[in-house]
Structure 1
Amino acid sequence: MNPAQIDAYLRRLGVQHPASPTDDVLRELHLRHLRTVPFENLSIPLGEEIVLEENRLLDKVVGAGRGGFCYELNGLFGALLTALGFDVALLAARVYGDEGRTGIPYDHLALRVRTVDGGTWLADVGFGTHSHYPLAFEERGEQKDPGGTFRVVASGPDAAEASGAGAGEATDLDVVRNGRPEYRLEVRPRVLGDFVAGAWWHSTSPASHFTQSLVCSRLTDDGGRVTLSGRGLTVTGVDGTRDVRELTTDEEVLAAYRERFGIELGVVPTVREPA
């Protein structure tokens, strides 16, 4: 990522170029990303190719003012952090489903970030509703966040023993929100190309929730959330109150994308029927 691209990305987030890759800078960038770059899967119904390459992601997120899902958002955010001097590792995860089963390999991409302050953090701007700030990667107790109460814990008591690792070296971690596991995180660093198959599966498989529904969502400045799912617009207040409205015309839907998310579309995305 060259200096001009870094500056353009930071302008998209509405922040100045940081002087140093500190804990506080990471927290600010994380929050600003969640507020300005929506979590969305619109490329799938619009028939747009999802390419996990840095310049293509910059064209989409920074150039076109779009969002994306985990591979795109965390992949590009990780590249920005690296360019700003943070020590970043891309980590693979499997998302827990309703019945406690985990999804496919490379189901999700999250980031381990180290700062000059000595902090090690779990950053994730691509999971939809999640923590507003990075989570302390090595902390095993409860972590309070505006998005809930989180824990990052070893995935099982036998994890270290089964892998031949020493005490405290569990191979996987569970990220838990409000008592419910969200995803199982591997600690081995990956590269963005490792996630291509997962992105392809999620954008093409009838079994993927991304091919079955539409979502465009971001944090609001007051800590709430605005979500457009199909024609349903939901504004959730910081106190949990929800205002749900059904948009009746294409013009209303396109205006909501433009005014609520800064996304200019020529057509209304719709879920495509399975072939």
Structure 2
Amino acid sequence: MWSSEQLDLDAYLARLGYEGDRAPTLGTLRALQRAHVLTLRWDTYDSFLYREVRIDVPSVQDKLVSRGRGGYCYEHTVLFAAALEALGFRFTAVSARVQLGADSSTPRPPTHAMLIVDVGGGRWLVDIGFGASPLEPIELVDGARSEGGPWPYLLRRQVITHGSSGWAVHQRGDGPEGPEGWTVRQVFTENPQYPVDYAVGNHFVSTHERSPFVTRPYIQRLRTDRYDTLDALAWTTHRPGQDPVTETVPPREVPKLLDDVFDIRMDPEEAALLVTRLTELDATRNPAT
């Protein structure tokens, strides 16, 4: 179903630097998730520059594995699903509603892709496409936590959008819909999703005028000791236990920043187009007075 026959599994695992066991076990899943999140990048440049993002396996592999570019949740999840399928894992794809900045009375569309993997006698939530993603699977039980990275996550079974029951992923922070010290990050049900469902959601986030991915670029890189984002021209570095540091980057310096900090490579033509579009965006946001 997930086109694993079109995936060059050896090339994907080599890109991750993964040389471990290929048996479909919980240990393999843990190692693959950690390697994927820390190795492959997250960006929305194709939406911003072209308003088109292809999520067929050959296109995603070429972009994320061969060319060293980043992608967002649909691209990461389609690639990871193809790899899991090739390795013999059993899993269900699901869609989530990102809740940060919203509440249950004003839900966003379910446009975040994740997987629920059946392995080791349990079911495990695998979210490798958020950018600041957990470095390990989270068992699908109420109260389960992920402590495997610099920022923890909490999974709760609870009422979600419009009174329906489902699951909520919490991250550290103050929020009205989470327990003390946590805020709701995304909510989801276990309704199965298929490649065609992801194609519909991907079309919205990559082309619709109200999609934040279309209106400005957003880049993320997670490491074990820091988390960097580039929101249009605002570069922010987060470190555990410290206040974030933000600075504004001139458009002409963004391609070098992408290479140096985010480990994202762009060819010269694409880099020039990016600088032009960022200059136009900056002029729109900050017109001369």
For Structure 1 versus Structure 2, the TM-score category normalised by the shorter chain is 0.7 to 0.9
> 1:15: Cα distance to partner?
0.9
Going from structure 1 to structure 2, the CA distance change for 1:19 and 1:200 (only over 3 Å counts) comes to closer
Mapping of residues 1-275 of structure 1, within 5 Å: 1-2=4-5, 5-47=8-50, 49-100=52-103, 101-104=106-109, 106-115=110-119, 117-137=120-140, 139-145=141-147, 146=149, 147-155=151-159, 172-178=166-172, 179-220=182-223, 222-248=224-250, 250=252, 252-265=253-266, 266=268, 267=271, 269=274, 270=277
Which aligned segments of 4 or more residues in structure 1 are displaced greater than 6 angstroms? none
One-letter amino acid matched to 1:177: Q
Contact 1:7/1:17 (<8 A) preserved? no
1:261 aligned counterpart, secondary structure = coil
Match of 2:179 in 1: none
Contact 1:6/1:83 (<8 A) preserved? yes
TM-score, normalized by length of structure 2?
0.80
1:71 aligned counterpart, secondary structure = helix
Distance 1:235 1:150 in 2: 23
Deviations 1:117-171 (A, max 9, x none): 223110011113342221111x101414232241231336x97xx8xxxxxxx5x
Structure that is richer in helix per residue: 2
Going from structure 1 to structure 2, the CA distance change for 1:248 and 1:94 (only over 3 Å counts) comes to closer
One-letter amino acid matched to 1:110: M
- Calculate percent identity across the aligned residue pairs: 26
How many residues were matched structurally?
259
TM-score, normalized by length of structure 1?
0.83
Which runs of no fewer than 5 residues in structure 1 stay unpaired?
A: 163-169
Going from structure 1 to structure 2, the CA distance change for 1:3 and 1:47 (only over 3 Å counts) comes to closer
2:23 aligned counterpart, secondary structure = coil
Contact 2:102/2:108 (<8 A) preserved? no
One-letter amino acid matched to 1:152: R
Distance 2:78 2:256 in 1: 29
Going from structure 1 to structure 2, the CA distance change for 1:249 and 1:72 (only over 3 Å counts) comes to closer
Which runs of no fewer than 5 residues in structure 2 stay unpaired?
A: 173-181, 285-289
One-letter amino acid matched to 2:225: G
Deviations 1:236-264 (A, max 9, x none): 223334343333362x3212212233322
Distance 2:143 2:131 in 1: 23
Deviations 1:160-184 (A, max 9, x none): xx8xxxxxxx5x3222223322222
Going from structure 1 to structure 2, the CA distance change for 1:249 and 1:184 (only over 3 Å counts) comes to closer
